[in-house]
């Protein structure tokens, strides 16, 4: 255990710093922010859960997955099935099995089960997909996302098809979302320093050497795949309770690319990178949205034309990647020690 505790001692500061940052944001928002701004921060915390969820698999295994937003879809719809009032389910989702139509679970239990369902699906599919690596793995996970999207968009009696299903109780406020984000960061941290996490990281950096020393790469990847699926499934559930309405199109290409961009721009191989990527990009987007709404600088309102916000955020991402190809945190964890750059954990 000595070896483990020294690793813990060296890296625990990263976890504490990240949690403090998240809590600080929540407190400042609660004090200063308006209601719409509060919703922006809640959405950001859910994005932290998503991007850190992807990081658990992509960051540790080095395999770029395009499919993880499929788990968000499974989670969100599962939460909808568990929590929509029975009377509405009978009408809009007649295809659901009877026991499901009549049950209405409390929010946290349903979110947990939603995560489990996503993790179960990941376990079944992962057993096949995890054998692949490199670009073949990226395509296979994208194909998984596409299959989930097509099924959820057309299985009308169970998912309401391409239309949105309504009636999911509003629940995710700023504190629930903050709790979710902190929980996910802790899970990611614990996994990262766990035996399986370290073995997977070894496999990522030196595949042959790791395999030679008995690391079963496929098994370790599967563990990361299932954990990340659980986390993203729960995030999907919280998203459902945040928006109140769920639609398959919200879990397909655009959310996949924005979350992957945040991870890569933040720094793909470090937990701090995943969290900072979300915070920085969300801040820039929000800043540009204010600019678009018009900021009155002493009488004259300066407003950038509509649509420029998207172009600018695209350009900003390219520029960041140009000067920091390995991301804002340069794949290093933010740590306590101020002398010199923090001790890289990889």
Partner 1 sequence: MTALLQILFDALSLGSLYALGALGIALIFGVMRLVNFAHGDYIAFCVFALLWPSIDAAAIVFAGNLPTIILIPLILAIGAGLSVLSEILVFRRFRNANPATMMIASFALGYVLKNFLLMLFSSRPKSIDLWSNLSQQVEIAGARIPLLQVITITITIVILIALTAFLKRTRFGLEMRAAAENFTMARMLGVKANRVIMLAFAISGMLAAAIGLILATQTGTVDIQMGMSVMLVAFIATVIGGLGSLPGAVIAGFLIGGASVLMQVILPLEARPFRDAFVYGAVIACLIWRPQGLFAPKSAKQRV
Partner 2 sequence: MSRLKALGLATVFGALISGPALADDIVVGFATAESGFMQAYDKPAQDAALIRIDEINKAGGLLGRQIKVVTADTKTDRAEGAKAGLEVLDKGAELVIVSCDYDFGAPAALAAEAAGKVSFFLCAESIKAGIPGVGPHSFSSSVLAAVQGATMAQWAYTKKNARKFYRLLDTWTVYNKGICDGFDWQLPKLEGAELVGSDTFKNEDASIASQISRIKALPQEPDAIMLCTMMPGAVSAIKQIRAAGIKAPILNGSGVDGSYWLSAVPDLSNFFVPAQGSIYGDDPNPKVNEFNKKYKEVTGGDPSSQYVYPGYVLIDVWSKAVERAKSLDADAVVAELEKMKDEPTLFGPRTFTSEIHHQNKGRYLIIETTNGKPAVVDEWTISEAIPVADLLKQ
Q: Which residues here bind partner 2, judged by CB under 8 A? A: 34-36, 39-40, 43, 88, 91-92, 94, 153-154, 156, 161-164, 166, 170, 242-245, 247, 249-250, 289, 292-293, 306-307, 309-310
Which positions from 192 through 251 interact with partner 1, judged by CB under 8 A?
A: none
- Does the protein bind partner 1 through residue 285 (CB under 8 A)? no
- Does the protein bind partner 1 through residue 265 (CB under 8 A)? yes
Q: Which is nearer to partner 1, 86 or 211 (CB)?
A: 211
Q: Pattern of binders to partner 1 over 45-74, x per CB under 8 A?
A: -------------x-----x----------
- Does the protein bind partner 1 through residue 257 (CB under 8 A)? yes
The DSSP H or E segment spanning 297 is strand 295-297
Q: How far apart are CA 276 and CA 282, in angstroms?
A: 10
Q: Are 101 and 86 in contact (CB under 8 A)?
A: yes
Q: Which is nearer to partner 2, 174 or 222 (CB)?
A: 174
What's the token pair of residue 16? 């504490």
Q: Are 320 and 313 in contact (CB under 8 A)?
A: no
H-type helices in the chain, by residue range?
A: 2-32, 35-61, 69-83, 86-92, 98-102, 107-129, 134-154, 156-159, 174-193, 195-205, 207-212, 217-243, 253-266, 271-293, 308-323
Q: Which is nearer to partner 2, 182 or 288 (CB)?
A: 288
Three-class SS state of 34: coil
- Tell the smallest beta-carbon distance from residue 33 to partner 1 (Å): 27
- Tell the smallest beta-carbon distance from residue 237 to partner 1 (Å): 24
- Does the protein bind partner 1 through residue 147 (CB under 8 A)? yes
Work out which of 20, 190, 315, 341 binds partner 1, going by CB under 8 A: 315
Beta-carbon count within 10 A of 229 CB = 31
- Does the protein bind partner 1 through residue 346 (CB under 8 A)? no
- Tell the smallest beta-carbon distance from residue 224 to partner 1 (Å): 16
| Sign, CA torsion 31/32/36/38 | negative
**Backbone phi and psi for residue 298, each to the nearest 5 degrees, phi listed first:** 55, 65
Q: How far apart are CA 192 and CA 211, in angstroms?
A: 19
Residues at the site binding partner 1, with contacts judged by CB under 8 A: 58, 64, 128-129, 131-136, 139-140, 142-144, 146-147, 150-151, 154, 253, 257, 260-261, 264-265, 268, 305-308, 310-311, 313-315, 317-318, 321-322, 325-326
């Amino acid at each position: 255990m000595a070896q483990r505790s020294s690793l813990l001692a060296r890296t625990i500061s990263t976890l504490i710093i990240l949690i403090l940052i998240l809590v600080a944001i929540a407190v400042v928002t609660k004090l200063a922010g308006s209601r719409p701004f509060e919703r922006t921060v809640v959405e950001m915390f859910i994005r932290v859960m998503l991007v850190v969820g992807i990081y658990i698999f992509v960051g540790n295994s080095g395999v770029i997955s395009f499919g993880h937003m499929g788990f968000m879809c499974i989670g969100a719809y599962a939460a909808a099935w568990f929590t929509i009032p029975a009377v509405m389910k009978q009408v809009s989702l007649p295809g659901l099995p009877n026991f499901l139509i009549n049950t209405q679970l409390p929010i946290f239990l349903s979110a947990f089960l939603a995560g489990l369902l996503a993790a179960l699906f990941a376990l079944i599919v992962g057993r096949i997909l995890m054998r692949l690596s490199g670009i073949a793995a990226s395509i296979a996970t994208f194909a998984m996302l596409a299959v989930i999207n097509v099924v959820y968009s057309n299985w009308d009696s169970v998912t309401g098809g391409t239309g949105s299903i309504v009636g999911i109780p509003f629940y995710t406020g700023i504190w629930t979302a903050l709790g979710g984000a902190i929980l996910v960061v802790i899970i990611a941290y614990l996994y990262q320093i766990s035996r399986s996490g370290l073995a997977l990281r070894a496999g990522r950096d030196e595949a042959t050497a790791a395999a030679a020393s008995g690391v079963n790469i496929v098994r370790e990847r599967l563990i990361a795949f299932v954990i990340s699926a659980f986390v993203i499934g729960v995030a999907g559930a919280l998203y459902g309770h945040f928006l109140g309405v769920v639609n398959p199109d919200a879990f397909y290409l655009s959310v996949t690319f924005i979350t992957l961009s945040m991870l890569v721009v933040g720094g793909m191989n470090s937990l701090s990178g995943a969290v900072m990527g979300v915070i920085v990009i969300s801040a820039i987007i929000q800043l540009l949205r204010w600019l678009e709404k018009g900021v009155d600088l002493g009488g004259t309102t300066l407003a950038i034309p509509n649509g420029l916000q998207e172009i600018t955020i695209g350009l900003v991402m390219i520029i960041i990647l140009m000067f920091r190809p390995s991301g804002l945190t340069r794949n290093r964890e933010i740590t306590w020690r101020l002398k010199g750059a923090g001790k890289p954990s990889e």
